[in-house]
Chain A
Amino acid sequence: MGLRIKYHPILGEDLRKDMISIEVDGRAIPAYEGEPIAAALIASDIKTLRKTKRIGEPRSLFCARGVCTDCVMTVNGTPNIRTCITPVEKDMKIEKQEGLGNWGEEPK
């Protein structure tokens, strides 16, 4: 939790109290309900959010506002979710995305 800003000279004190649990690659992570997934992960020192398709390079946040798509992960089974603008929900299952992720069966 070292990266969370509890007291800020302009923003004041962080008054959020209740944390929920989300699952990231099988590991339980605390998060504030409604905060972006990426914020919760970075606060828990999880920096790598996905690996690229061709050479498996680690990627993470860049723009933090949903326009660059570097932060995408698989959320509750759906791939390519922009974690910097998607709010956390209780019991969410988040997985580091390998490449383009798993899109299910090909349509017949």
Chain B
Amino acid sequence: MRTLRFNVLSEEELMELPGFPSLDVIEKGKPVAVIECAEKIPCNPCEACCPQGAITVGEDINNLPSLDPYKCTGCGLCIAACPGLAIFVVRKAYNESDALISIPYEFLPLPEVGEQVEALDREGKKTCLAKVAKVRNSKKYDRTPVVSFTVPKEKCMEVRHIRLL
């Protein structure tokens, strides 16, 4: 994808990717993976790790991964498995006001549950404040912890990283 030679993915470009669940599915609000993988590189751990078979790369591992959003349960295994750290889980209907975003977070210190942090967009710009809801560091993740945090619903497709305060 040409933009990535110069910049980060725009939301429009993201929505055209086979790894993007439909807007309908996002709106329904259950946790679902968003695979922001836009370039052909030889890689398929996402397909290999999904217990639901919701991700398909196929025989040519250069293919972009495509997501079957109806098989996806939002378990988040793929967040840790992706060597490019390009997969996130979005749960738009976490509660009345907030969405829950889950990201790979390979830094120290790890945030604590309940901690308030800054939510950053794809360019690293502060977008809003967020609250850490979950920190998972399972052995299966092989040292890629998954941090889940809440942001206002309308920010759910913008926010992709956090900065500790």
CB of A10 closer than 8 Å to a CB of B: yes
CA distance A8 to B106 in the complex (A): 9
Number of B positions contacting A (CB below 8 A): 4
**B49-104 at interface with A (beta carbon < 8 Å):** none
What residues of chain A lie closer than 8 Å to B108, measured between beta carbons?
7-9
Q: Which of B99-115 contact A (CB under 8 A)?
A: 106-108
- Smallest CB-CB separation from A5: which chain B residue? B108
CA distance A7 to B108 in the complex (A): 8
Contacts of B106 in A (CB 8 A): 9-10
Q: 1/0 per residue A1-40: CB within 8 Å of B? A: 0000001111000000000000000000000000000000
Complex-state Cα separation, A21 to B107, whole angstroms: 32
Task: Output the least CB separation between A34 and chain B (Å).
Answer: 25
Q: Measured between alpha carbons, how far is A8 from B143 in the docked complex, in Å?
A: 11
- Residues from chain A with a CB closer than 8 A to the CB of B107 are 9
Number of interface residues of A (CB under 8 A): 4
Nearest CB of chain B from residue A100's CB, rounded to whole Å: 44
A7 nearest CB neighbor, chain B only: B108
A4 to B131, CA, bound (A): 32
Which residues from chain B contact A8 at a C-beta distance below 8 Å? 108
For the complex, what is the distance from the CA of A6 to the CA of B107, rounded to whole Å? 13
Interface residues in B106-153 by Cβ distance below 8 A to A read 106-108, 143
Contacts of A7 in B (CB 8 A): 108
The docked-state distance in angstroms from the alpha carbon of A7 to that of B107 is 10
Contacts of B143 in A (CB 8 A): 9-10
Shortest distance in angstroms between B126's beta carbon and chain A's nearest beta carbon? 22
Query: In the bound complex, what is the Cα–Cα distance between A10 and B107 (angstroms)?
Result: 8
Residues on B with beta carbons closer than 8 Å to the beta carbon of A10: 106, 143
Smallest distance from the beta carbon of A12 to chain B beta carbons, Å? Answer: 8
In whole angstroms, how far apart are the Cα atoms of A64 and B107 in the complex? 25
Q: How far is the CB of A14 from chain B (nearest CB, A)?
A: 13
Q: How far does the Cβ of B85 sit from chain A's closest Cβ, in whole Å?
A: 13
Most buried by B among A7, A9, A10: A9
In whole angstroms, how far apart are the Cα atoms of A48 and B15 in the complex?
52
A-B contact pairs, 8 of them (CB 8 A): A7-B108, A8-B108, A9-B106, A9-B107, A9-B108, A9-B143, A10-B106, A10-B143
Kindly list 6 other residue pairs between chains A and B, CB separation below 8 angstroms, not including A8-B108, A9-B106.
A7-B108, A9-B107, A9-B108, A9-B143, A10-B106, A10-B143
The 7 nearest A-B residue pairs measured at CB: A9-B108, A9-B106, A10-B143, A9-B107, A7-B108, A10-B106, A9-B143
